[in-house]
Amino acid sequence: MTLTFALSYRQLLFLIAITFLFLGSCSKKSLDPEVDEDETVLPHEYEIESLTYRLADDDKIDTVKIKWGTEEFTNPGNTLMEVQHVETFNDLVKTSLFEINLEEDELPLDLNITEFKINVPAVYYEDGTFSYYPEPFTISDSEQREQYKNNSTFTLDLKVPARSTLILGKSIDRHDIICSFKLVIRNKTTGDKYTVDGKWHGVLRYFNESFSVDEEILN
């Protein structure tokens, strides 16, 4: 027995349309690149490539003499009194402020220079170079203050006469500086480089400690 299936014209068009839709879907999948939905874009990493300081024509170093208070040593007795005093100048302060020449949108949005800590000058030499302070400071346009790292101590042997008071006066010189800096930051991913420059304001160093002694007779 032979079975014959007759398709109407409308049914034939419907089957042809379904076939084309199926083939089109397959070809589109083969042409589209595979996309990994779990793939994430890693943030860029930046590093400091170079940092230089210099004393330009409009920069300066000022010397300020600081009177560092007094210490008194009283001998109410009738014999000479010997006193040993150790001075450390522990209350000295190192300051840092960066005045940055930077236009809006000059750096990438993901580059935040305030996240970097960099070396700042400690001593200026006649050949135009600087030595660096042992502790780095954040790049900030607000003044930062830290205890000054001073490894020097001074031991004074004092002889206080009978029925008198010795008044020990202390002073020290400080160098305040405005100098120019140039910082080059490199994108570790792309190799792109960005330059940040401007002025650094801060305490350069303390030096030239001096002491004076005055005597007052007790009544």
Q: Is the pLDDT of residue 129 over 50?
A: yes
The CATH number of residue 87's host domain is 2.170.15.10
**42 band by pLDDT with thresholds 50, 70 and 90:** low
**21 band by pLDDT with thresholds 50, 70 and 90:** low
Hey, what's the torsion of the CAs at 85, 90, 92, 95, to 10 degrees? Answer: 160
Q: What is the pLDDT of residue 44?
A: 85
**124 band by pLDDT with thresholds 50, 70 and 90:** very high
Residue 31 lies in a domain: no
Q: What is the pLDDT of residue 125?
A: 96
Q: What is the pLDDT of residue 78?
A: 95
Q: Is the pLDDT of residue 139 over 90?
A: yes
Q: Is the pLDDT of residue 206 over 50?
A: yes
Average pLDDT of the chain is 86
Q: Is the pLDDT of residue 107 over 50?
A: yes
Residue 39 lies in a domain: no
Q: What is the pLDDT of residue 138?
A: 97
Of 18-22, 47-51, 131-135, least confident by mean pLDDT is 18-22
Residue 3 lies in a domain: no
Residue 37 lies in a domain: no
Range of the domain at 138: 46-217
**151 band by pLDDT with thresholds 50, 70 and 90:** confident
Residue 156 lies in a domain: yes
State the total domains in the chain. 1
Section 15-19 average pLDDT: 52
Residue 11 lies in a domain: no
Under a CB-based contact definition with an 8 Å cutoff, are residues 150 and 89 in contact?
Answer: yes
Residue 184 makes CB contacts below 8 A (sequence gap 6+) with 48, 49, 50, 51, 193, 194, 195, 196
Residue 138 lies in a domain: yes
Q: Is the pLDDT of residue 157 over 80?
A: yes
pLDDT in tens, 56-99: 999 999 999 999 889 999 999 999 999 999 998 888 999 999 99
Residue 33 lies in a domain: no
Of 42-46, 48-52, 128-132, 139-143, least confident by mean pLDDT is 42-46
Q: Is the pLDDT of residue 17 over 80?
A: no
Please tell me which residue, 205 or 39, carries the higher pLDDT value.
205
Section 161-183 average pLDDT: 97
